[in-house]
Every structure is written in C-alpha cells, then in structure tokens.
Structure 1
C-alpha cells in the first residue's frame, strides 16, 4: 500500500522489450500510481481485457497457468550482490518490495525485502536488519544504497539493524530495547526484521517494517530518515516502547504472552494523509507529524467479504488505481480431491487432506479506502505477500518472491529458484471491470 509524491509522467514505452526469457517477480504499489496521471496508465480506453469468470462457490482459488508469473510477463531484478550473495549468485529475499517515486523531478526505483545472514537457511531466528537498493530504471542497474558516508567501513546498503543500538542518543532512538537481539536456550541468538517497505511521503523517506516471531516483541514499527533514501534512520516516537497497536494472543507457541502485536505493517498515503495497514485486516491513521498513529480504543477493520471459513491471511496492502482502492492480501491455496477425484483448489483453513500449494495474491476492490470491498479474486498465483506499483511510464507491476516455506516452491527441485526479488506485469480490466490481474498470456496474444 503505497503512493508516491505527485510527480511528472516521463515518457511511455514497453518495459517488457528485450526481457523475454528472463525470470521475474514484482508488484505495483499505490505509491507509484500517485506519481503519474491515471489517464496515462495501462490500456487505451477502447481495449480492455475482460474479467475472468470466478470459480464457484466463493473461496475457490483460480490456479490456471495464465495467472502465474512467467518468462513473458516477469523477471528477477538484477540487484547488486553483497559479499554474502556471491555463492548463491543472487540475493535471497522474501517479501520483496519494489516501488517507483518521483524525487526532484526524476524517477527513482527502490527495492527491499526480508533477507538472511550467512550460515542460516532462513531469515530467523535472527537476521541483521534491512537493506535497500535503488535504480533509475526497473531493469537496473540496481545498486545498494550508498550508506558509506553514514557508517564508513560497514556493509554497504544496510540502512537499519539491531546492531545499530550503539547509535542511540538522548532524544534520538535508532533501536528500541524491544528490538535488540536477545538469547535463550531454545534458539540462541534471536531477533529479526521482516517485510520492510520504503515510502517517499511529503518529501521525506519512511521505512515500515516488522520485528518477527523470534523478537522480544513481535510487531510493526516505523523508521524516519533524517537524510535521503539511505538514511540515517531513526525510530518513530510511537514505537519507543512497543510496536503499533495493542498486544494480543497470536503467533507460534514459543512467543511469550503479551509479546505479540500486529505484524506486516504497510503504509498507504493519499494527498497529505497516511495510514498504517496491518496484516490482519486492520488500519490506523498516522498523526500529521508521522511520529505515531492516532490513538483509538480499537483499530478499525476494513469492510470486506470473508470466505467461509476465513483462512489465515497475511500482508494486507492497499493500492489506488484511478478512483478505486485495491486491498491485496496473501492466502495459501490448499489442494484437495473432490468427490469426482479431481483436484480442488481453495483458500481454506489447514486440515486433513488439504495440502499447501501456492501462496497467492488475492484482491478486492472498493470505492473508498475503508471499504466496503468486493468479493476477492485471484490476481496472481504464487505472488502472495507483495505490493502493486506503477513504473515511470505508467505501467502496472506487482512483486513476488516464490515462498520457499511450503507448497510448490518448497519442493527440493525448485527451492533454488525460490526467494527471489521478482516483478510481474499487471493488467487492468478497465473502468467497468475494475480488476487487476497478472498479465495473462491470452491477453498478451491479443495485443500482438
């Protein structure tokens, strides 16, 4: 859920030219759409693809191949490698986030995500913080943010980490006590940062992220840059003692009572206002000074149409295109066998006979930020926990990362291609259909 500063339209061209055969992943955040006039985006008004018929009953997943990120509609970002990436040959990343903002009259692309430390197969029970890459084109070159002037001799591109606790000063906190590393007999070193998102709002850089399951407190927080995109970043005042919102019972059993808050925070802005969006369908307005959310007894919830039963959803993100608001969430498509012996794909709760298959992006549309939202549809197969954005030419994209935790991309034959920073082209079905999908092969053929 993002929007960029109001900006200029910088020429229009096909961003897919020359990328056939490369693999991809991407999502298009609202932040970019704000920077470009809506009338320049997507298809000419007379040629819109049709909405696809939805599987019935409501809650079935659409697993058709057209909705997969594939060689003709997506690619992996050529991010500059860090020393830790040399052996793998690319950046290992979950929760990939990409956006495009207009800064000083020029388009600036940013990328970040959840990464791991050398020696660990995943991003827990600890990682070493948040890295940022920038580029002037979606195709690169993508370079690590230049942090050398802030921390000479430190690893380039790392803009925040629990390691930076020594930078705390009176009146300026970089790492709060609840974000510091800690140790126990079960996991050893603990504390990781998850799902970062970088936003340029009212001429200032903000980074929303989450301390993950192995942290002292688990939940979302906001970092504010005192300089440019590389920082230096400090913690917002509202997070000095805890993450945003109130604690509740949740997460894995090893999380201590009272330590679990609302995770996967995102930011949506429109005009001079900004909102925090949370993974469990909640939102809160930021104060005008962006140092905390506006106090409320209970965080409001989006008005949406749940499945029956409603499964666990993650990564809520709001993107505005034209006059519509799109609520994007991640849901596991679980497969089972129906009464006729055929595979059945559904967004259902875990249960006997149901196997995790793909981590999908599901979307609903509304006329207002808070809803009510329409019934959800499958926008991208395996593209869950992403963001949507608009590039400098007004074209729509989404991110994806191929979740290696379970399902299709956890298969040993595929894990080497999982956890990538990918982007995939999106299509809009026009002002009547008002749907966003991964750009379908059938539509690409029609446009030739």
Structure 2
C-alpha cells in the first residue's frame, strides 16, 4: 500500500552507505548550483526541519546542493546482478521503484524499474520486459525474484515480457496483441515495457507499467499475479484491447494517430480501495474486482496549481503520509539566461536558449486525494521519476535513477553514475508544514527529527 500510516516505530536514519553497494558521490561541480542564500539560522528547539522559502516566481527550480542525492544521504541498492550487468557492476535501471510491504507478518522489500537489453544504450526501441528483485532489508541482500519454477531455463527474475505471448490461453491473456513485438523498416524490432510499479494489495501482487513510444499502442496497463511476487502474472480484463484511458495526440511524430494513451500508470491504495494514477493529471478508481477502472473514458483530474505555461510532466505518483497526500511529478529543470545575464533555472517548456539541466522531483501537498493541491516545490534535484516509501522501521525514503537521456548525467564523464537503482533518505517538515524533502545537510532548515 502507498498509505504510509503504518504506526511503525522509528529509529535513527541509516548512517552512510558503507557496505551497501556503490554510494552516490555528489560531483564537486554541483556546488556551483548552490544558492548562497540558503538559511542557516535553525532554532534548536524546533523538532522538525523547516520548509525552505520557494524561489520566485512560481516555477523557478530550487538547485541547492542539499536537495541532491549525496554520499551522506543516499546509496545505490546492491541488486543481484544479471549476466547483462556483470561488466558494468551495477544494474542499469531507469524509473527506479522500491517499496516495503508486510507479507505474512514480515517486511518484504521489492525493487523494479525500466530495463534495457544487451547491445542497446537505452530501453528502446525494444526491451525484454520487467524484472523484480526482493529483499528482507533495504540494505540487502537483494535477490532476483525466483521465477525458475515458472519458466525453467529462462532468465531469472523476469516476471513479464512480450516474449511470453506463447503463454496466452483461452480466458487467460499474458500479452495482448497491442503489447507484442513488431517490426518496421525505420526502427527494426519494436516493443517494450517502461516504468513498472509493484504493489501488494488485498493479498495479491499487482504490476502497473506502460508500453513506450515504440509499441503498437502506447499507454499504461496492469498485471495481476496468480501466485506470489514472482508470478505468474496475467493481464487484467480492462487492458485486453488497449491501455487505460482515452487516446490522444501525443509523443513523437512517428506514433500512429490513436495509438498514444497516458503513460506512467501507478496504483494508489488506501484501506480496501485502490485508484489508478496516470501521467500527468488523471486518476480513476479501480473496480472492486480490480479487473478494470470504474470510469474508462473522460477520467477525472487532480486539482493542481499548474505552472504557466505548464511543461511536460512525467511519473505521477501519490504518497500519503501523516494525513497528507503528496502528488509527485518529474520535471526537467531547464537553464536559460536572465536579462541581467544570470542563469535561470526553471520548469519551463522547451524553447530556443533553454537547455535541459536536471530531471527533478517536484511535489504538491493536499488534504484530499483529488486535491486541491498546494503549489509545487522542488523535493529532490536529479531525483525525478521516482516514488516515496516508508521502510519497516518507519523511516522515509525516495528512489532515484539520475537520468542519462539529457542534461547533467548525459555527460560522458557522468554516465557511469547514471541509470542506477538508488534510494535517498527523506525528511518531513512536520504536521503544520507537511513537506517531504530529500534529507538535507546540517544547515538544511532546522533541527533533525
């Protein structure tokens, strides 16, 4: 469940990343992005850290070093390596997703994300599906889900793939026709799954993911396991013919008209109810049998405070903590030049002179799931397309992957640090302020918890 009100006991946050896999080290050049006006006058009597004043005007990005994943607040998960990972020494992953569930009275951590195949630099124009790792501790050991009993001889940990189309049976669809691999003269082999999320809800495992720009139809879908976390998974009834929601004109020009639907689908659950969350502003309640959403067209929208103009946002995710709903998006911080010659960092739409810099996590807060939501703020620099979760000790975390597609981590000197299964500690600014930030340094606005 994404409702974080578990009532679990707290402990001090994990100190350092020694022995926990490759730690993320903040590049020295990042200091140039720091705002010299960051407040340093925290009151010792304050229990929670402070909210930082938001940059003005609305839509300006906060680039302070304290909001970066750093060596002192984050680490890369030591996931079990697949044969394809051995040379790199770390799992290549985009859209990192990690969560903690209590299953049979014990904590079970799960990890998944967008994968690529050997020989390709990205997860396009095709990949081979969705992999899952599990652990009893965030620190590990992390093992690939044991799929060997389901598919002896197949690659361990792969729980769904277009390759599994041969497992379709009357009344049980694993891969729909619109999810299958296909070929064209321009790209060759096409078809893939992106941005998976794994949820344990009412005793069952659900995988929500999307097909990407090179698929026959682009959009979000959901799988349900007929066994444990390793599967076997099948497609729910509502996605047999198409992704969730209406189609619209979107994505690259090579996508066929009518093929594009809303991507980055996720699941939010509270009690016995569950909702679909779609990028970047839509939601819908699931039917009680979880085989489809209640409203399949003209989906309702979150009540947000958009930027003006509103840029392209991705990775919508809802997380509840201490009675507040946190709507998380990924947005590109684009740099440009102000009239006085200074550098402007903002969540702008693309335009001449605007350069992609960092793929950030931005968040808005509300008292109700549907909103109205507060103005957005920068929660993590470079931590875009992530999720928030609570570990079994009650501590707060976010995932990150450091986007290599453009901007800071596309530089040849930094690509080895990018596309990683990273987690970074979060801090809560208390019941009155209600924000979640990447764990800031000693001058990050207040006394620690």
Is the TM value for this pair above 0.5?
Answer: yes
Distance 1:348 1:166 in 2: 45
Conserved? CA contact 1:49–1:443, under 8 Å: no
Aligned equivalent of 2:33: none
How far apart, in 2, do the equivalents of 1:112 and 1:256 lie? 29
Q: Shift in Å at residue 291 of structure 1?
A: 0.3
Q: Which residue of 2 aligns with 1:424?
A: 424
Residue 262 of structure 1 corresponds to which residue in structure 2? 262
> Counterpart of 2:442 in 1: which secondary structure?
helix
Q: Is the 8 A contact 1:213 1:252 kept in 2?
A: yes
Change in Cα spacing, 1:332 to 1:263, as seen in structure 2 (3 Å) is same
1:19 aligned residue: 17
The yes-or-no answer on 1:127 pairing with 2:127 is yes
CA distance in 1 between counterparts of 2:188 and 2:2 reads 36
SS in 2 for 1:319: strand
Aligned to 2:250: 250
Give the equivalent residue in structure 1 for 2:177.
Answer: 177
Equivalent position of 2:403 in the other structure: 403
User: TM-score, structure 1 length as denominator?
Assistant: 0.92
Deviation (angstroms), 1:297: 4.2
- What is aligned with 1:280? 280
Q: CA deviation at 1:339?
A: 1.7
For 2:341, what is the secondary structure of its paired residue? coil
The 8 Å contact of residues 198 and 206 in structure 1, kept in 2 or not, is answered as yes
SS of match in other structure, 1:442? coil
SS of match in other structure, 2:431: helix
Q: Distance in 2 between matches of 1:97 and 1:230?
A: 16
Partner of 1:203: 203
Q: Hey, what's the Cα distance between the residues in 2 that align with 1:285 and 1:225? A: 20
2:196–2:207 contact (8 Å) kept in structure 1: yes
C-alpha deviation, 1:23, in angstroms: 2.0
Is 1:111 the equivalent of 2:111?
Answer: yes
Runs of at least 5 residues in structure 2 that lack an aligned partner in the other structure: 26-44
- In structure 1, the partner of 2:232 is 232
1:337-348 correspondence runs (5 A): 337-348=337-348
Q: Could you tell me which residue of structure 2 aligns to residue 71 of structure 1? A: 71
Distance 1:446 1:386 in 2: 26
TM-superposed deviation, 1:341: 1.5
Deviation for aligned residue 1:447: 4.2
- 2:165 match: secondary structure: helix
Aligned-residue offset at 1:337 = 1.4
Structure 1 gap segments, 5+ residues each: 26-44
Query: 1:2: Cα distance to partner?
Result: 2.8
Matched position secondary structure for 1:172? coil
Q: Partners of 1:160 and 1:96 in 2: how far apart?
A: 17
Q: CA deviation at 1:391?
A: 0.4
What displacement does 1:68 show?
A: 0.2
8 Å CA contact 1:107–1:136 kept in 2: the answer is yes
Does the 8 A contact of 2:73 with 2:424 survive in 1?
yes
The CA deviation string for residues 397-442 of structure 1, in whole angstroms up to 9 with x for no partner, is: 0000000000000011101110000000000000011100000013
What secondary structure, in the 3-state scheme, does the structure 2 residue paired with 1:120 have? Answer: coil
How far off is 1:15 after superposition? 4.4
- Note the C-alpha offset of 1:280: 2.0
**Contact kept in structure 2, 1:95 and 1:195, CA below 8 Å:** yes
Given that 1:361 and 1:382 are in contact with CA atoms closer than 8 Å, whether structure 2 keeps it comes out as: yes
* Matched residue, 2:298: 298
1:296-351 alpha-carbon deviations (Å, 9 max, x no partner): 54100100101111101011000000110000000000011112221110010011
Which residue does the alignment assign to 1:307?
307
Contact 2:245 2:297 in 1 (8 A): no
Residue-by-residue CA offset, 1:120-146 (whole Å, 9 max, x unaligned): 010000000000000001010000000
1:332-384 deviations in whole A, cap 9, x for unaligned? Answer: 00011112221110010011111100000000000000000000000000000
Question: The residue matched to 1:141 in structure 2 has which SS?
Answer: coil
User: Aligned residue for 1:140?
Assistant: 140
What is the distance in 2 between the residues matched to 1:447 and 1:372?
Answer: 29
Find the aligned partners of 1:411 and 1:229 in 2 and give their Cα distance.
Answer: 37
Task: Find the aligned partners of 2:179 and 2:293 in 1 and give their Cα distance.
Answer: 19
1:338-417 aligned at under 5 Å gives the runs 338-417=338-417
Aligned counterparts, 1:22-171, within 5 A: 23-24=23-24, 47-171=47-171
| Residues in 2 aligned to 1:297 and 1:191: alpha-carbon distance in whole angstroms | 25
Q: 2:259, 2:448 → 1: CA distance?
A: 52
- Aligned residue in 2 for 1:41: none
Alpha carbons 1:426, 1:436 under 8 Å: kept: yes
Distance 1:166 1:296, change over 3 A: closer
- The 1:234–1:24 alpha-carbon spacing in structure 2 relative to 1, beyond 3 Å, is farther
8 Å CA contact retained: 1:24, 1:424: no
Q: Structure 1 residues 254, 356: CA separation in 2 closer, same or farther (over 3 Å shift)?
A: same
Instruction: Tell me the TM-score normalised to structure 2 length.
Output: 0.92
**2:432 alignment partner, SS class:** helix
- Match of 1:84, SS state, is helix
Give, in whole Å, the separation in 1 of the partners of 2:50 and 2:12: 21
Whether the 8 Å contact between 2:75 and 2:424 is mirrored in structure 1 is yes
